[in-house]
Structure 1
Amino acid sequence: MDAIAHFTDHVVGRTYDDLPPEAVTAAKTFLLDAIGVGLSGVHGQWADALDDCIAGWGSSDDSRVLGRSTRHPCAVAALANAFQIHNSEFDCVHEGAVVHPMASILGASLAVLDREGGISGRRLIEAIVLGADVSCGIGVASKSPLRFFRPGTAGGFGATAAVARLLGFDRETLLNAFGTLYGQSCGTMQSHEEGSMLLALQIGFNTRNAVVSCDLAARGLIAPRNVLEGRFGFFNLFEGEYDVAPVVSALGRVWRIAEVSHKPFPTGRATQGSIAAVIELRRRHSFEVEQIESVRAHVTPLTARLVGRPLLPGMAPNYARLCLQYCVARTLLQGSLGPADFRTDALGDAAVHALGQRVEVIAQPNDDPNALGPAAVELKLSDGRRLVADIDDMPGSPSSPLSRDQHLQKFRSNWLSVPDVAAAEAAEGVIALVDNLEEVQDVRSLLDLLCQA
């Protein structure tokens, strides 16, 4: 039996009462986090251009988009939601899977619950938890380096599971939805390689396709069944080597949403161990930037491949977020890294470029092709000192989590970064609603707070 059948049985067979407290808490935590980064993405790179485009992609008042007052066809709104959540590289990530689960799951779920109405907070929690089990489970099962953009491809499966849960699909309907989604799956690592804004759109495309797939399946479309392990299935065509049996056997015991990591910095996850190492060096040692003769960032092979790109003049924000030379140099100079550091006017800073050219990215052997850590940064100073900081646990990971205060600070900061989205005091209403999400009878009340004119 193809593994997709096991995932399907898990999605249709679980209820809110089956979910452990840690999974429910994580679902609410990363729901709020994704809302915050999605709002900050309203005016992120290329977001307004996308908003102009989608106005011509059909006329309907189905669903709203995060932070905007206009309405669009449900699938179009899902695409825009997902893009906004990921377009600033600030959304949460499952490191072992190399998947950003909430961009696709929440992008689709918000659009569908707005269209349908009457969907409870408990049902949304179910959708988030079970959707993450699917997308992150598929990612964990892969044992090959990334070729296709897994946050988009595996993310589409997670979004399909979430929408199916919201709509109350039975087993056969969900199998058809998964098969239809696979027929539309898309997105390669070339966009990552070149630092293109198409990267976030690839998550959007698969999120849109999840809604389309569920709508088609609900109307009786029959689709292929062996979509994960078939001769031309996902693992064989998109991934390569895989071992899905341990993932399947853990369904109902291991809840992937509880393994998800916060991002403390608005950059590619692969940069964040090195950023944390730089902050630790500045905390522990006294030195001047002018003393730095060389910087060595010791990283995993995957990290080197994802963010070892050269710092370039005139680079776009999305390129810079995935450039370890830029992120390390900027953090060395100022001791922190935030959204303002990726504005166009900040990216040409001559001092950052001069220091960044001295940052050498060195790949260290690692048996796990999906490992993003550990990381270490080594400074050689003109006074002869050699300073090193090692980061074993990525900041924001389950083994080194953000505190609740840090989590809320990130949300409030993202909210306030877009003052025209909604009144500042409404942020506290969103926090309270998410904290008590299991008591909410119609989650459109959340969108009422997020999509004010």
Structure 2
Amino acid sequence: MSCSGAREGAGVLAEFIAGRWQPPAAARTSARVFILDSLGVGLSGARLPWSADLLRLSRSWAGAPQASVWAGGDVRLPAPLAAMQNALQIHCQEFDCVHEEAVVHPMAVVLASAVGFAEAHPRPVSGAELIDAVCTGVEVAAVLGMASSGPMRFFRPGTCGALGAAAAMAHLAGLDAERSLHALSLTCCQLGGTMQAHLEGAQALPMQIGFAARNAVMAVEMARAGLCGPRQFLHGEFGFYRLFEQGGNWEDAAQRLGSGEIARISHKPFPSGRATHALLDGLLRLGGADLRCEVRAVRLIAPPLIVRLVDRPATVDMPPSTARLCAPYVGARLLLHGGVRVQDFDPARIAEGDWAEPASRISVRAGEWDDPNAMAPQRIEVELAGGEVRSLDIECALGAPQNPLSEARQLEKFHACAASIGLAGADAGRIVETVQRLDDLADIAELTRLLRLPAVSQAEVEAAR
């Protein structure tokens, strides 16, 4: 079938995908790092009740057993459903990496989709091919996010993540520019998910990541089958930058295509919204749990986006999704225990209420920033009982490329995620070793077999409900 029409900015992306970009060495190294990170948080995400609920529902829909569910035992689902499940598991604990300039969590949608797509097709996909595809997908997702100049109305990690995932799979499938354009376009036709779920801290927030992954897989398969979408889906009268994003600086952002944006992703050292991490990093640097008995007040002065995302009331009955995005709650947890763990967001832990008093001392207010997407700099002020005020200006929170997480802490995070679902150290170590030699794997099936861990028990799931 022939699909005619004028090309626009989307053609640039399509040509980039079809050009078989070879990521530079630094990007390939970062890809291995963030693939391991994403697998760790994705395995840990299997412990949450709504992850188990979604898996039970997906199994009832049945279909071709094409792709693995991470920590789902021997369960195999159609590739779109497996991608949805694994993407949700990556994002559902707010522990997945983020491209801060783009305000996009690219790996959740890109990796889950690419792995599911690769498993669904008979041709073996090598580890090097997966790295190339993931780098391509992150490149597209990040550039689309960086080109967005207005405040978010739709959930950008889902919208830009889906388009990045389509790029990754189009790369894996070897699509030419024409078919790649329609893979992106048909993905755009299925975009959705507003910021309302984020505002309310609803369970639907990580589901929007899952929907994005599912729809991207379906769109690429449709494009491979010859179906067509609108060509001007980015800049047309009703295109992405008219409806989903307000305005944009596409020309400047597009210059970054091929620069290796995956190397500019930030780790998340804490299982909470990235917008809380400057607060947590600052508290640690100013004394951490040693401050607990001395703190009279903690004040965070931050860009409006940060205030909008994490200045929330802390209550003992708030849902986990709200708690992960609540600066007073996560700050109180750090003051109490010197860190923040995935288990701190289980409902029973929130209901304990031992955190309420220190949380009442933490406030967030907006400073003066013109950029509605700015996440930094931030300033933390800690007023002690004796009247001393300790302050710190934070340009880059821990985990950013300019303030990186050490390799030891990266591995510590992965093993903590693995332990949260009962995965023994030796079994977790095999996953680490396999990802570290991903460039040399002839078939990623060697990796995906290791991800088919026994399903989390119903008792463990209910304990987190």
Same fold, TM-score > 0.5, yes or no = yes
Q: TM-score, with normalisation over the residues of structure 2?
A: 0.93
The residue type equivalent to 1:450 in the other structure is L
Structure 1 Cα separation of the partners of residues 62 and 272 of structure 2: 33
Partner of 1:251: 257
Partner of 1:442: 443
2:380 to 371, 377, 389: 377
Structure 2 Cα separation of the partners of residues 269 and 211 of structure 1: 27
The residue type equivalent to 1:125 in the other structure is I
- Rate the CA distance shift 1:286–1:82 in 2: closer, same or farther, 3 A: closer
* Matched position secondary structure for 2:30: helix
The root-mean-square deviation of aligned C-alpha atoms, in Å, is: 1.5
- Rate the CA distance shift 1:286–1:190 in 2: closer, same or farther, 3 A: closer
Q: Judge which range, 241-250 or 261-270, deviates more.
A: 241-250
Matches within 5 A, 1:102-117: 102-117=107-122
Structure 1 Cα separation of the partners of residues 150 and 135 of structure 2: 25
Tell whether 2:72 aligns with 1:92: no
Q: Judge which range, 85-94 or 116-125, deviates more.
A: 116-125
Partner of 1:401: 404
Asked if 1 retains the 8 angstrom alpha-carbon contact of 2:134 and 2:168, the reply is yes
Instruction: State the Cα distance separating 1:45 from its structure 2 match.
Output: 4.3
Structure 1 Cα separation of the partners of residues 408 and 425 of structure 2: 18
Deviations 1:284-311, CA, capped at 9 Å, x for gaps: x96452x433221111110000111111
Asked if 2 retains the 8 angstrom alpha-carbon contact of 1:374 and 1:391, the reply is yes
Instruction: State the Cα distance separating 1:280 from its structure 2 match.
Output: 1.2
Structure 2 spans left out of the alignment, 5+ residues: 1-6, 455-465
* Matched position secondary structure for 2:95: coil
Tell whether 2:336 aligns with 1:333: yes
Asked if 1 retains the 8 angstrom alpha-carbon contact of 2:272 and 2:325, the reply is yes
The number of residue pairs the alignment matches comes to: 446
Where do 4+ consecutive residues of structure 1 move more than 6 Å? none
Matches within 5 A, 1:126-205: 126-205=132-211
Matches within 5 A, 1:317-396: 317-396=320-399
The residue type equivalent to 1:435 in the other structure is Q
* Matched position secondary structure for 1:350: coil
* Matched position secondary structure for 2:383: strand
Structure 2 Cα separation of the partners of residues 14 and 60 of structure 1: 30
Asked if 2 retains the 8 angstrom alpha-carbon contact of 1:45 and 1:87, the reply is no
Tell whether 2:418 aligns with 1:412: no
The residue type equivalent to 1:54 in the other structure is S
Partner of 2:462: none
Instruction: State the Cα distance separating 1:59 from its structure 2 match.
Output: 2.2
Partner of 1:214: 220
Structure 2 Cα separation of the partners of residues 144 and 26 of structure 1: 29
Asked if 2 retains the 8 angstrom alpha-carbon contact of 1:45 and 1:317, the reply is no
Partner of 2:4: none
Tell whether 2:46 aligns with 1:46: no
Tell whether 2:70 aligns with 1:66: yes
Matches within 5 A, 1:257-272: 257-272=262-277
* Matched position secondary structure for 1:295: strand
Structure 2 Cα separation of the partners of residues 342 and 353 of structure 1: 14
Deviations 1:307-328, CA, capped at 9 Å, x for gaps: 1111123011111000011111
Asked if 2 retains the 8 angstrom alpha-carbon contact of 1:104 and 1:159, the reply is yes
Instruction: State the Cα distance separating 1:409 from its structure 2 match.
Output: 1.3
